[in-house]
Chain A
Amino acid sequence: DIQMTQSPSFLSASVGERVTLSCKASQNINKYLDWYQQKLGEAPKLLIYNTNNLHTGIPSRFSGSGSGTDYTLTISSLQPEDVATYFCLQRNSWPALTFGSGTKLEIK
């Protein structure tokens, strides 16, 4: 099974700050990496698919990058509404999907 190591598990940042989250795969996942945002009590919402494609309706302050085993989600200017848990999902080994453990993001 492909393991996904997500870091950090918790992040506190100021409004307007640039924030970077990371997911590292145990093997090459060929850019089949998605990023989701989950707010308390809500269903997860797709932000980025296939490493760097912004999902419909997602603000342009969210971006993704990476290749091979290393992937990054960047929020260029943190907003109060971005408080949430973020997790990555690898689909390279579909149907055996695996997820990062999540990053809880709060405003400092």
Chain B
Amino acid sequence: EVQLVESGGGLVQPGRSLKLSCLASGFTFSNYGMNWIRQAPGKGLEWVASISSSSSYIYYADTVKGRFTISRDNAKNTLYLQMTSLRSEDTALYYCAHLPYWGQGVMVTVSS
């Protein structure tokens, strides 16, 4: 059974940084691309970033380019999202996804 468990969320002040993790199990993590997707309160889903299996290809939404960094450690079956220069509009539930499988999400709140 595919399981994706996010962690690392919380309350952070604007301009600060936060790093999310996603521990994957139930499939051969190193063989698949992975994604981060978010949903702001009361809003729709927004794709954030994707990374290929070997990290050779990385893509970002324009809204986070230059501020967020997606990475992975295939030895640890873990996906990461390093978020810097956080803004109030980054407040959202962040999902790790190996489509069509999603984690439960982790909440990030950016507020002073």
Q: Which of B13-21, B71-79, B84-92, B102-110 contacts A (4 or more CB under 8 A)?
A: B102-110
Contact B47 A34 (CB under 8 A): no
Interface secondary structure of B, over-half rule:
strand
Docked complex: A43-85 residues within 8 A CB-CB of B: 43-44, 46, 49, 55
Contact B105 A34 (CB under 8 A): no
Contact A96 B44 (CB under 8 A): no
Docked complex: A11-35 residues within 8 A CB-CB of B: 34
Residue of A nearest to B102 (CB): A43
Chain B nearest CB, measured from A36 CB (Å):
8
Contact A96 B47 (CB under 8 A): yes
Residue of B nearest to A55 (CB): B100
B interface residues, how many (CB within 8 angstroms): 18
Contacts of B50 on A, CB cut-off 8 Å?
Answer: 95
Interface secondary structure of A, over-half rule:
loop
Chain B nearest CB, measured from A80 CB (Å):
23
Most buried by B among A36, A43, A46, A100: A43
Contacts of B45 on A, CB cut-off 8 Å?
Answer: 87, 89, 99, 102
- Whether, in the assembled complex, B61 has its beta carbon less than 8 Å from a beta carbon of chain A, the answer is yes
A44 to B45, CA, bound (A): 11
Using A36-B100, A44-B102, A49-B100 as known contacts, list a sample of 18 further A-B pairs with CB atoms less than 8 Å apart, ordered by residue number in A. A42-B104, A43-B95, A43-B101, A43-B103, A43-B104, A44-B95, A87-B44, A89-B45, A91-B99, A95-B47, A95-B59, A96-B61, A97-B37, A97-B47, A98-B47, A100-B44, A102-B44, A102-B45
The 8 closest A-B pairs by CB, nearest first: A46-B100, A99-B45, A97-B47, A95-B50, A95-B59, A101-B44, A43-B102, A44-B102
30 A–B contact pairs at CB < 8 A? A34-B100, A36-B100, A42-B104, A43-B4, A43-B95, A43-B101, A43-B102, A43-B103, A43-B104, A43-B105, A44-B95, A44-B102, A46-B100, A49-B100, A55-B100, A89-B45, A91-B99, A95-B35, A95-B47, A95-B50, A96-B47, A96-B61, A97-B37, A97-B47, A99-B44, A99-B46, A99-B47, A101-B44, A102-B44, A102-B45
